[in-house]
A and B are shown apart, each in its own frame.
Chain A
């Protein structure tokens, strides 16, 4: 149990992510100047630590003295750089339990996303918070930038179970009121809830100037509905069971589901939130890398 969280930190995944930096699209209060655009220019900062130079780092922050002693490039990091606070909201409702055969279920996949992001943020001295929610926030891990914080967060993840419905609007409203400083809110969920309630919650977060990133995690089967033979679909989150001939319904179901997703994406983006749809068959490293690259490009 102790090391179970490491499954979310697949080195193959994290190797790429650590080379990238999460860049907030908006100016986040308390960001370390140089790395992130800060509204507090000229503000004295306290040195925190060195870290090894990687290509892409601003050469103005290289510690030349240390270079002269060790003949190696180190970057000086300051306390202000850890001021980015990222609040990860991970959906633990019953619908996240679904996973098609031979694939991770949606919750496992979403947890991997959360773990990867948290690890990356902690690597760059940012503070990360984790909230596990369904109809309410079931677990809450306060923000911290300590590297060991990852372990705390992921242990919370593995110890939870998915049993209840989803209720997003109230969660988002509560969170918007609770978070004292502007930060990055990352929602990882299948978003199986009324679009209107999701959007209202997002708009509230945006109203508080939070940078909102939505990761919608879906199962491949939910997008393709490939069933052939007669099937009883036992509804999660309290929906009734129904026996249908899947082939006869496939087209109609896909149309309905596509309409929902399109509407959701359109309105999330319309609310100035980033919207990323991930499927549990997508390679996580590629998907996150692509998202982070596009986000970095937009920031420049």
Chain B
């Protein structure tokens, strides 16, 4: 309401409030005259009661003024608008609205004329209109889940000017490349109320409510719902497609586990593109393009377009590209689907991958034998196994005895195998821990020379450091007697379960393991709640106890990361350790002499290295941290050119960084925070080389990193509204299909204030009547 109009209304209201006073004054002038005989007693009564009568009159006058004021408030809509706000402010009866707008990339799904996101923006406008129409005292904040979203948040009293500004802000908003979960959306909204002191607090989460993002049965989600402050009224506004079967979507991705993980110059690589049809109809003539960007070329190389004749509904098809990378360096590869009528979501039609092409993977094989004869070392079979496929896999094995291996060699390795090792000096152990902290992969074969106590002491939990080995070992069990005869006693691998990524590829060829015998192995003692400690069993023996044969420990570290305007602590995965509970050579097992051994070991090495390689490729919005070889590159300046999408989203085009140095290890990192990587695409990084550095080109080097939408969220299935409504209602959350639904339920301040006004009016009337009766004014 304009101030002048409010002022005018206030004047009218003030005039009405003065009516009882005017009536009182007029009444004092209007009287009838009576000759009165019993005057003596009347004067006496008057003298004794003059002050009481005056007070009673003033009290009744005040009450009547209040009654008029309340009636004016209750019936005058124009006046009420201003006064309600005024009263609301004075009494603190304000309504704080926080609207969390889900800008996940799935909100960009276009069904019919508009996308879910466009509809969401319309609902925000509609909500603003309703709030303004209600004419109470409101504040309003529009948030996106990720702090620092463009033009957000804005908190202000809601009026027409605010609505116009908000319209401008909304017009600029587009879906991001992020994929938010329902928990994130709720948490973001609830956090916004931390400083709110309003009586009425209303959170509206506007989302498309996909099955993949709204895991209501998830324990974390349930606990989050339970933890919502009862004072906060929560509404989930579903703007997903109205047709439940509207899931038509095509997506493409490359899974690095399916492809070569070590890329060597001039070697033909394999890149497997997986295209999935999420819809319920056959997609025909789907085109797939591939672009390869070399670090030293201005433009990408375009590969011939591949056309998939048809992709069945709900099914995936693959196409393998065989690129050849000319030289060392980081390449950027992009897969992109052509426009297709059955595709309603464009964000997942492209997948970017940054690929490290290097001379080879440095595999450091450390054995515990005193002898320096490599052929007698327990790592001998390992070296043979990986060298067999060297030209294809690009693995470069380096064999070192434990007592001689230098710490620098440990730190610079890509993957390390410890075979029969139970003794490393402090410097070696420190280097090994640093190697793991920066994401190194380690394989451990305890072996026959290992003393369990020494082993457990060395690789077990330290006072100031977590355990390295997945479990403690015990003295070996089994016997080598009778080996080679029919009386030999042995166990095999349990071939019933192949769920771990390391062995899942063997499920179809498990026959390879049928002739593998384990005569002796070391039993292990798993930590309590081992899964909570990142320990899992990869494979077991087929003995009665199902003793673990292969175990994995993933190492995590709590790090402080920047999230929006604040620093938060988060747990990030660092290195990983695989332990095989038998020897790496053929002393306790015949495995090294069997066909599965040279097949499995390169896969093991790749598994341990692949995860590190994938750290150049993250989901949009995830932090990216990559080791910088400070011997070759200067820590500053690091120029980063952001993808085009980042420019479109207003994040920026270019930034200059400095390398981050780990204070404990001294290792330098290129760190791109989650705010930095919000946009999907290729991040081009220019590094300055150190002068006279070995093996490094002079001047500048270009590297790539890639961020992608989370393709797991390409599945656009939605929750069934009634089911969602029931589940949310159980947690006290309102499910709404439109703003109208919210408004019907929301206890907005106007209604609240009206109720209060009417209650107060009734009470005042009753009090006035009572006092009037009590004071004798109404006696008949």
Contact = CB atoms under 8 A, between A and B. Distances in A.
Interface of A: 94-98, 106, 190, 192, 219, 222, 227, 229-237, 239-245, 247-253, 255-257, 260
Query: Which bucket holds chain B's interface residue count?
Result: 20 to 34
A96 B38 CA distance: 10
Interface string B5-31: 000000000000000000000011011
A249 B49 contact: yes
A242 B41 contact: no
A248 B56 contact: yes
Given A247-B777, A247-B778, A233 B34 contact: yes
A250 B42 CA distance: 9
Contacts of A232: 31-34
A249 B45 contact: yes
B46 interface: yes
A222 B53 contact: no
In the complex, the 5 A-B pairs of residues with the closest C-beta atoms, listed nearest first: A235-B39, A252-B45, A239-B39, A95-B37, A98-B37
8 contacts: A95-B37, A236-B39, A237-B37, A241-B33, A247-B775, A248-B57, A257-B38, A260-B41
Given A230-B27, A256-B44, A248 B36 contact: no
B529 interface: no
B40 interface: yes
Interface string B754-776: 00000000000000000000011
A222 B37 contact: yes
A231 B31 CA distance: 5
Contacts of B485: none
B43 interface: yes
Given A234-B33, A245-B57, 9 more contacts: A230-B31, A233-B34, A236-B35, A236-B36, A240-B39, A245-B777, A247-B779, A248-B57, A252-B46
Contacts of A245: 53, 57, 777
B32 A242 contact: no
B379 to A, nearest CB: 112
B49 A252 contact: yes
B49 A248 contact: yes
A121 B45 CA distance: 42
A230 B36 contact: no
Residue from the set A222, A237, A248 with the largest chain B CB neighbour count within 10 Å: A248
A285 B776 CA distance: 36
B42 to A, nearest CB: 5
Contacts of A240: 39, 43
A114 B219 CA distance: 105
B558 interface: no
Contacts of B37: 94-98, 106, 190, 192, 219, 222, 236-237
Contacts of B56: 248
Given A230-B31, A239-B43, A222 B38 contact: yes
B48 interface: yes
Nearest to A193: B40
B40 A248 contact: no
A190 B36 CA distance: 13
A97 B777 contact: no
Nearest to B49: A252
Nearest to B33: A232
Contact of A234 (B27, B28, B34, B46): B34
Contacts of B43: 235, 239-240, 242
A232 B32 CA distance: 6
Residue from the set B35, B38, B45 with the largest chain A CB neighbour count within 10 Å: B38
B46 A249 contact: yes
Contacts of A190: 37
B45 A253 contact: yes
A129 to B, nearest CB: 27
A11 B41 CA distance: 37
A256 B36 contact: no
B35 A98 contact: yes
Contacts of B779: 247, 250
A256 B778 CA distance: 21
Contacts of B777: 245, 247-248
Contacts of B30: 229-230
Contacts of B33: 231-232, 234, 241
Nearest to A228: B780
Residue from the set B30, B39, B40, B43 with the largest chain A CB neighbour count within 10 Å: B39
